[in-house]
Amino acid sequence: MCPTIGVFLALLLLLLAPAATHATPENGDQVLKAAREVLAPIRDKSMKVTMRVLDPSGSERVKRLRGYEKRDADARKVLWIFESPLELQGTGFLAWQNESEADSLWVYFPGQRRVRRVPPSLRRENFQGSMFTYEDLIAVFFLDYHGNHELEGTRTCGDGECFVVMSELEEDAFAYDRLRSWIDTETLLPVRVEFFADELLKVMNVTETEKIEGIPSIVRVEMASPTDGYITHVHLEQVDYNENLRENMFTIEYLSQMGK
């Protein structure tokens, strides 16, 4: 056989060969594992955040803050510093999460010029009057929870399809008993999360995503209560990944310095 013809046939076979496909998750654990792996390349993150809190009367409060995150195989550290409004300026929040230990949480109040360690129960309280609790921001937002995850199937969501997973959470691990997560079958980002206790408490909807540095990312999200009309909109801006943020940024000393 002529070498030129051999090369041509080899290229033709490559072109006709079926494209490799990713394995389709077959159960709830696999869906959440795949969704978490989307975030795996992110070692650290910095961003500016605008939070708009609306009450049922239509009154709106706008808060702006800077956020920083750093993670390794089994731990995550989160730092938030408020820039406005004036009464919150300099207020900071630091959280350390480790799979083998209870969460550690600290808050810095510039008016008192001191850092105060707060009990883990604070994670169940609303974050500065918003519809997000502290545990939503440091755990649920990352699909970082354990439990029994049942795949309810796929459903239409927006212009695409979503895996729908119902998670029965470990007892007393969160303020919620169950979470129903809608995970986009293409991006594997959460599109919607429903929070249940005895009844539906609130719903988180992702309203805008984009690729940042090649990573599918959430940039706009809202949390709403179906019963009392409170809504919180969050916009993540100037997001940067993997800047090698210094470890000493996530310390009590740095928290108090940033708040000055």
Q: Flag whether pLDDT at 165 surpasses 90.
A: yes
- Render pLDDT for 44-82 as a digit per residue (tens, 0 to 9): 999 999 999 999 998 999 999 999 999 987 789 999 999
Residues paired with 224 in a beta bridge: 203, 231
> At 36, is the secondary structure helix, strand, or coil?
helix
- Which residues does 14 contact at the CB level (< 8 Å), separation at least 6? none
What pLDDT, on a 0 to 100 scale, did the predictor assign at position 144?
A: 83
DSSP state of 173: S
Task: Tell me phi and psi for residue 38, to 5 degrees.
Answer: -60, -35
Confidence of residue 259 (pLDDT cuts 50, 70, 90): low
Residue at 77 is within a domain: yes
Residue at 14 is within a domain: no
Confidence of residue 188 (pLDDT cuts 50, 70, 90): very high
Q: Flag whether pLDDT at 256 surpasses 70.
A: yes
What pLDDT, on a 0 to 100 scale, did the predictor assign at position 174?
A: 84
Of the chain, the end-to-end C-alpha distance in Å amounts to: 78
What pLDDT, on a 0 to 100 scale, did the predictor assign at position 163?
A: 97
Give whole-number Cα distances, 86 to 89, 91, 126, in Å: 5, 10, 20
Task: Tell me phi and psi for residue 176, to 5 degrees.
Answer: -115, 155
Return the CATH number at 180.
2.50.20.10
Token pair 């969501």: residue:
157
Q: Flag whether pLDDT at 21 surpasses 60.
A: no
In this prediction, what percent of the chain has a pLDDT beyond 90? 62
Residue 13 or 94, more confident = 94
Task: Give me 219's structure tokens.
Answer: 């940039």
Residue at 9 is within a domain: no
Confidence of residue 260 (pLDDT cuts 50, 70, 90): low
Angle at 115 between CA 243 and CA 65, to 5 degrees: 45
Rounded mean pLDDT of 225-254?
Answer: 94
**Average per-residue pLDDT in the chain?**
86
Give whole-number Cα distances, 191 to 10, 126, 160, 180, 215, in Å: 43, 22, 10, 11, 16
Range with lowest mean pLDDT among 8-17, 30-39, 148-157, 246-255: 8-17
Q: Flag whether pLDDT at 9 surpasses 60.
A: no
Residue at 117 is within a domain: yes
Total of domains in the chain: 1
Q: Which domain holds residue 67?
A: 23-258
Sign of CA dihedral 210, 211, 213, 218: positive
- Render pLDDT for 106-154 as a digit per residue (tens, 0 to 9): 999 888 888 999 887 777 888 888 999 888 887 787 888 889 999 999 9
